[in-house]
Amino acid sequence: MVNIDFIGRQRGAIIFSLALILAGLVILVLKGGPTYGVDFTGGILIQATFKKKISPDELSRMRGFLREMGLSGNIQCLGAGEDEVLIKIRPSEADVSSEKIREGVESVLKKEFSQFQGVYQSDEIDPVISKEIRRGALLAILFANLGILIYLALRFEIKFAVAALIALIHDVLLTILALVFFKVEFSITIIAALLTLAGYSVNDTIVVFDRIRENIKLFRKESLSGIINISINQILGRTIVTSVTTLLAVLSLYLFGGEVIRPFAFALFLGVIVGTYSSIFIASPVLIYWPRRR
């Protein structure tokens, strides 16, 4: 078993996390907030089919043509053969009717791409509905965190629940700020990734807490800092193997899952790294600062 003094490094880790969060918040303010997808802003969705796979260069050309039309739509490949595209156009660019935009996009695609087959679906998302979706997404994250807090308070003690919640907020916040930095568009897919991350992060933290609780009974004469260090060192190998295995699976999704699943995989990849870090350096040290009963 390795013997690393994690608690001795906790202050540096906390300062590092706070610095990242502060830098991320500054970037968030400078960028004017996250970039929301059509799911959260409303707009128009156009799905078109082609006779063969769409290359990255062709996607880039499509984006260029849309800009020339005054539409800053986001375009993604769909389908196993990547022979379909999904064009998302935000409401600020959709001042004319959705039918006219659909006809204009279809006309450009037919003229500029010989393999174009046709537009088989066009939908308009009302801004009011998209606001409800955004509200529902925020409530989902809130209730997920609340449920986790209650579960951990029942399974362990309240101090373990609060420590896990602090680590979870740390993970979700850092992941969101990183996504803003990398200019990832926020959509329902990203919300799904954040909820998945919440489950993974808490599971990782529970493994550490379980071992701490067992060792408190075994090492009665040891200080709490010493018990936490022993516990983290004992499960370090398992934590690294689990995280690396998960990262490899998520990396495969990112590389081979297609453009639609790529934002989900990217968010989850960032989250797994942050979650593994926080279960060791953020969640456990909170127990040390928790007021002790007299």
Do 227 and 254 lie in one domain? The reply is yes
Cα gap 201→207, rounded to integer Å? 10
Q: Into how many domains does the chain fold? A: 2
Do 213 and 181 lie in one domain? The reply is yes
Q: What pLDDT is recorded for position 1?
A: 60
| The two three-digit tokens of residue 85, written as one number | 């595209």
Do 204 and 90 lie in one domain? The reply is no
* Among 80, 108, 125, residue at a domain's last position: 125
Averaged over 162-173, what is the pLDDT?
Answer: 89
What CATH number did the domain enclosing 157 receive? 1.20.1640.10
Query: What does the pLDDT look like over 30-80, one tens digit per residue?
Result: 988 888 888 777 788 888 888 888 888 888 888 888 888 877 777 888 766
The residue type found at 44 is I
Q: Does residue 60 belong to any structural domain of this protein?
A: yes
Do 223 and 244 lie in one domain? The reply is yes
The whole model's pTM is what? 0.82
Q: Does residue 69 belong to any structural domain of this protein?
A: yes
Q: Does residue 2 belong to any structural domain of this protein?
A: no
Torsion angles phi and psi, residue 108, rounded to 5: -65, -45
Q: How many CB atoms lie within 10 A of CB 194?
A: 23
Least confident piece of the model among 87-101, 177-191, 235-249, 250-264: 87-101
Q: In what order do the strands lie in the sheet with 116-125?
A: 74-78, 84-89, 43-50, 116-125
Q: What pLDDT is recorded for position 241?
A: 92
Task: Tell me the residue length of the chain.
Answer: 294
Do 265 and 198 lie in one domain? The reply is yes
Residue 142: domain span = 7-36+129-289
Cα gap 40→130, rounded to integer Å? 5
Q: Are 7 and 285 in contact (CB under 8 A)?
A: yes
Do 93 and 141 lie in one domain? The reply is no
Do 242 and 279 lie in one domain? The reply is yes
N- to C-terminal Cα separation, the chain: 34
Chain Cα centroid distance, residue 2: 32
User: How would you label 221-258 residue by residue, b for 16+ Cβ within 10 Å and e otherwise?
Assistant: eeebbebbbbbbbbbbeebeebbeebeeebeebbeeeb
Do 11 and 68 lie in one domain? The reply is no
| The two three-digit tokens of residue 250, written as one number | 């998520």
Do 138 and 121 lie in one domain? The reply is no
Mean pLDDT over the full length of the chain: 84
- List, as one string, the DSSP characters of 169-180: HHHHHHHHHHHH
Q: How far, CA to CA in Å, does 97 sit from each of 91, 104, 106, 111?
A: 11, 11, 14, 21
* Among 96, 125, 154, residue at a domain's last position: 125
What CATH number did the domain enclosing 54 receive? 3.30.70.260
Query: What does the pLDDT look like over 123-151, one tens digit per residue?
Result: 777 766 777 777 887 888 888 878 877 88
- List, as one string, the DSSP characters of 90-134: -GGG--S-HHHHHHHHHHHHHHH-TTEEEEEEEEEE-HHHHHHHH
* Among 125, 159, 190, residue at a domain's last position: 125
Do 102 and 147 lie in one domain? The reply is no
Q: What pLDDT is recorded for position 92?
A: 55
